[in-house]
Amino acid sequence: MNKEEDKGVISLGPGDSFDFRFRVNLRKTTVYTCSFAWPGNTATFDIFRADRDDNPQSKVGVCSECIWSIYEPAPCRDRRDGGQPNCFPWAS
């Protein structure tokens, strides 16, 4: 969810995908937060943060097309070069 543009609730099953497009705001403060649920577990993660995903100084680099694989242990941003994905801790 972005405070300026809520995408609503999207329910996906195993193997399903969802994509959306947007532009980073001029202040470079754009954030999209998603919540995920599995039987007996829920987790939240900032699926896009301008300071992480649109910042050349970020340790994971800029992604013009961010592709994520969501696993119960961790959300992972896939790499276009086929290298090991960058996995992150859940926010909650």
pLDDT digits (tens, 9 = 90+) for 33-92: 999 999 999 999 999 999 999 999 999 989 989 999 999 999 999 998 889 999 999 997
What pLDDT is attached to residue 8?
Answer: 85
What is 17-84 written as a DSSP string? ---------TTS--EEEEEEEETTEEEEEEEEEHHHHS-TTSTT---SS--EEE-SS-EEEPPTTS--
pLDDT digits (tens, 9 = 90+) for 8-37: 888 898 899 999 999 999 999 999 999 999
What pLDDT is attached to residue 52?
Answer: 96
Q: Domain-by-domain residue ranges, the chain?
A: 1-11+19-92
